Structure 1
Amino acid sequence: MAFNSSDYLDALGESGLYEQNCTLADLRPHEFNASALDAYNISWELEESLMRCSYDARRINCSAADALCLCAKEIYRDYCAGRPEYYSYVYRIIGTLFQGIIFVIGVIGNAMVVIVVARNKNMATPTNCYLVSLAVADCAVLVAAVPQEIVSYFLIGNHWIWGRGGCAILVFLQNLGINASSLSLTAFTVERYIAICHPMKAQTVCTVERAKKITLLVWLFAVCYCAPWLFLTQVVPLKYAVDYPTQECTFKLSRDQYLYYFFLDFVVFYVVPLLPLLRPVLVHRQDPVHVADA
Structure 2
Amino acid sequence: MNVSYPYVIDSNCTLAGLTAFELLNESTWDPLQNVSLEEDVDFMNCSYLRHIVNLNCSSTDHLCRCTRDIYWSYCSETPAYYSYIYRIIGTLFQGIILVIGVIGNVMVVIVVAKNKNMTTPTNCYLVSLAIADCAVLIAAVPQEIVSYYLIGNHWIWGRVGCAIMIFLQHLGINASSLSLTAFTVERYIAICHPMKAQTVCTVERAKKITLLVWVFATCYCSPWLYLTTVVPQTYAVDYPTEECTFKLSRDQYFLYYFLDIIVFYVVPLLLSCVLYTLIARILFTSQVPKNPTVNGHHDKKRVSSPRVQVSSGQMRECLSCKKKD
TM-score, normalised to structure 1's length? 0.77
Corresponding residue of 1:127: 122
Pair 1:54-2:51 in alignment: yes
For 2:182, the aligned partner's letter is: A
* Deviation of the 1:71 alpha carbon: 8.4
CA distance in 2, matches of 1:147, 1:273: 29
CA distance in 1, matches of 2:273, 2:200: 20
Corresponding residue of 2:248: 253
* Deviation of the 1:85 alpha carbon: 2.2
C-alpha spacing 1:283/1:123, structure 2 compared with 1 (3 Å): closer
The partner residue of 1:147 within 132, 138, 142 is 142
**Residues 35-46 of structure 1: pairs in structure 2 closer than 5 A:** 35=20, 45=30
* Deviation of the 1:104 alpha carbon: 0.3
Count of aligned pairs between the two proteins:
267
Moved more, 83-92 or 112-121: 83-92
Corresponding residue of 1:6: none
C-alpha spacing 1:137/1:115, structure 2 compared with 1 (3 Å): same
CA distance in 2, matches of 1:96, 1:61: 44
Cα contact 1:57–1:76 (8 A) shared by 2: no
For 1:193, the aligned partner's letter is: Y
C-alpha spacing 1:231/1:124, structure 2 compared with 1 (3 Å): same
For 1:264, the aligned partner's letter is: L
Cα contact 1:42–1:60 (8 A) shared by 2: no
CA distance in 2, matches of 1:57, 1:219: 49
Cα contact 2:80–2:151 (8 A) shared by 1: yes
* Deviation of the 1:57 alpha carbon: 8.0
TM-score, normalised to structure 2's length? 0.70
C-alpha spacing 1:281/1:188, structure 2 compared with 1 (3 Å): closer
* Deviation of the 1:260 alpha carbon: 0.5
Compute the RMSD of aligned alpha carbons: 3.6
Cα contact 2:52–2:67 (8 A) shared by 1: no
For 2:194, the aligned partner's letter is: P
Cα contact 1:125–1:208 (8 A) shared by 2: yes
Which has more radius of gyration?
2
Corresponding residue of 2:306: none
For 2:87, the aligned partner's letter is: R
C-alpha spacing 1:33/1:164, structure 2 compared with 1 (3 Å): closer
CA distance in 2, matches of 1:37, 1:102: 62
Corresponding residue of 1:217: 212
Cα contact 2:230–2:242 (8 A) shared by 1: yes
* Deviation of the 1:180 alpha carbon: 0.2
Unmatched 5+ stretches in structure 2: 36-42, 286-325
CA distance in 1, matches of 2:246, 2:230: 8
For 2:123, the aligned partner's letter is: N
Pair 1:226-2:215 in alignment: no
Pair 1:239-2:234 in alignment: yes
* Deviation of the 1:113 alpha carbon: 0.6
* Deviation of the 1:254 alpha carbon: 0.6
